[in-house]
Amino acid sequence: MKNFLPFLFVCLAALNVGCSTDDDCMKTITIPQFYYVNNQAYSYDTTQEVPCDASEPEEAVLIEPVKLENFSYEVLSFVFTPDTGNNTSRLQFEIRLDNPNDHPITGVPVLTVNINGMVSTLSYSRDAAVPCYEIAAGSSCILTYDLEESLDYGINSIEFVDVQYLLVNKL
pLDDT digits over 127-157, tens only? 999 999 999 999 999 999 999 999 988 899 9
What is the reported pLDDT for 58?
Answer: 81
pLDDT > 90? residue 109: yes
- For 12-44, the pLDDT digits (tens) are 444 444 444 556 899 888 888 888 877 778 888
- Report the share of the chain in percent with pLDDT over 90: 54
Q: What is the pLDDT of residue 17?
A: 43
pLDDT single digits (tens) 55-75: 888 888 898 888 998 899 999
> Distance between CA atoms of 81 and 90, rounded to whole angstroms?
5
For residues 164 and 132, the answer to whether their CB atoms sit within 8 Å is no
User: b vs e for 38-56, b when ≥16 Cβ sit within 10 Å of the residue's Cβ?
Assistant: eeeebebeeeeeeeeeeee
Q: In what order do the strands lie in the sheet with 88-99?
A: 72-81, 88-99, 139-150
The count of other CB atoms within 10 Å of the CB of residue 99 is 23
Asked if 148 contacts 90 with a C-beta cutoff of 8 angstroms, the reply is yes
Contact predicate 166/107, CB 8 Å: yes
Look up residue 109 and give its amino acid.
Answer: P
Which helix H or strand E contains 78, and what residues bound it?
Answer: strand 72-81
CA gyration radius for the chain?
Answer: 27
